[in-house]
Amino acid sequence: MSFTFNIKELAKQPPKLLPGHRLCAGCSVPTIVKLILLAAEGPTIVATATGCLEVATTIFPYTSWNVPWIHNAFENVAATASGIEAAIKAMKRRGAFKYERVNIIAFAGDGGTYDIGIQALSGAIERGHDFLYVLYDNEAYMNTGIQRSGGTPLGAATTTSPAGKVIPGKMQHKKPIADIVVAHRAPYVATATPAHWADLMRKTKKALSIRGPKFLHVLAPCCRGWRFDMHLTMEIAKLAVDTCYFPLWEYEKGEWRLTDRSLVIAKNPKLKKPIEEFLKVQGRFKHLFKPENRHIIKELQEYVDMVWEDLLKRAGIK
């Protein structure tokens, strides 16, 4: 299935996420939401977990949401979406809901997905609710002030995994959350970044064309938490893909496909950049470049290579 987007036409429409929101300057999350809602045609209901996106877009009495929207709590956006979806089914049965199909989209950060929200997510996928779960992954609890999460990568300094003299940052790898969702045999799972915007919009559109639970793992560079200049947000997302730190892929009915830039790199391995390219532009990894911590960069490189090689095999490229 291929989708094309006429941005010049779409850009004339009133936005579904309005300006005047109070996410940080240079934040990637509003761009992610904007692109996803742009790709989501037709009636849409959005649920959002507690986090930066929720807080900064709904400071009473203001709302930035030009679509029906609900925030329930931190760990339960998948359960909330389950309730919305199931309620609509029942209300249709008694003729009290007029739309044939509604896009139900749940947004949650890494804390709300990898950690506190994984139970509700797993349950909702197992039950097969027809909804799209979007993980915007800024790799730490940014809303509470940059604490490590299950999505924080090896070596990253956060306020609860500081770069100390004995422990130089987080000492564990990022949890392979999208693989965990794939292991549920969800009908559609994909990774994306806002920088690769057409890929993100295409995946959104595709996901919404499929019935059942879908999962989009979107990398969300965070200038405050990752410590980089705010104009570099999209550049860093591109570096994450160019170094294969965050490969772009999609999984559907047992098949894995690399997409966009990752497919290009798979076909031309010389384009794969070393992980240092991604790390050196971010303050959270600064300490790794000290001689005594260099081994962590090596370890991270080995991990990235292993995951990438595995992905190439899964995608039938090797």
Shorter beta-carbon distance to another protein: residue 228 or 308: 228
Shorter beta-carbon distance to another protein: residue 104 or 296: 104
Q: How far is the CB of 263 from another protein (least distance, A)?
A: 21
Q: How many CB atoms lie within 10 A of CB 171?
A: 12
Q: How far is the CB of 105 from another protein (least distance, A)?
A: 12
Residues in the chain: 318
Q: CA 273, CA 302: separation in Å to the nearest integer?
A: 13
Q: Which range touches another protein (CB under 8 A), out of 69-77, 258-266, 268-276, 288-296?
A: 69-77
Shorter beta-carbon distance to another protein: residue 124 or 279: 124
Q: Which of 3, 91, 145, 289 binds another protein (CB under 8 A)?
A: 91
Residue 24, phi then psi, degrees to nearest 5? -60, 155
Shorter beta-carbon distance to another protein: residue 131 or 285: 131
Shorter beta-carbon distance to another protein: residue 8 or 270: 8
Half-sphere exposure of 303 toward its Cβ, with a 13 Å CA cutoff? 18
Cβ neighbours of residue 241 closer than 8 Å, sequence gap 6 or more: 193, 195, 196, 247, 248, 260, 261, 262, 265
Question: Does the footprint of another protein cover residue 79 (CB under 8 A)?
Answer: yes
Interactions with another protein, residue window 230-259 (CB under 8 A):
230-235
Shorter beta-carbon distance to another protein: residue 26 or 176: 26
Can you name the residues that pair with 108 across neighbouring β-strands? 135
Question: Does the footprint of another protein cover residue 87 (CB under 8 A)?
Answer: yes
CA dihedral 171→114→215→128, nearest 10 degrees, is: 140
Strands 249-252 and 213-219: unpaired
The gap from C-alpha 271 to its chain's centroid, in whole angstroms, comes to 24
Interactions with another protein, residue window 8-67 (CB under 8 A):
8, 11-12, 15, 17-31, 34-35, 43-45, 47, 54-55, 57-67
* Cβ(221)–Cβ(237) below 8 Å: yes
* Termini Cα distance of the chain: 24
* Cβ(222)–Cβ(138) below 8 Å: yes
Q: Which of 3, 41, 96, 145 binds another protein (CB under 8 A)?
A: 96
Q: CA 279, CA 48: separation in Å to the nearest integer?
A: 30
Q: Which of 37, 82, 214, 261 binds another protein (CB under 8 A)?
A: 82
Instruction: Look up residue 59 and give its two tokens.
Output: 């400071």
The gap from C-alpha 67 to its chain's centroid, in whole angstroms, comes to 20
Shorter beta-carbon distance to another protein: residue 163 or 195: 195
Shorter beta-carbon distance to another protein: residue 196 or 217: 196
Question: Does the footprint of another protein cover residue 88 (CB under 8 A)?
Answer: yes
Site string for another protein, 114-153 (x = CB under 8 A): -----xx-xxx-xx--------------------------
Q: How far is the CB of 126 from another protein (least distance, A)?
A: 7
Question: Does the footprint of another protein cover residue 194 (CB under 8 A)?
Answer: yes
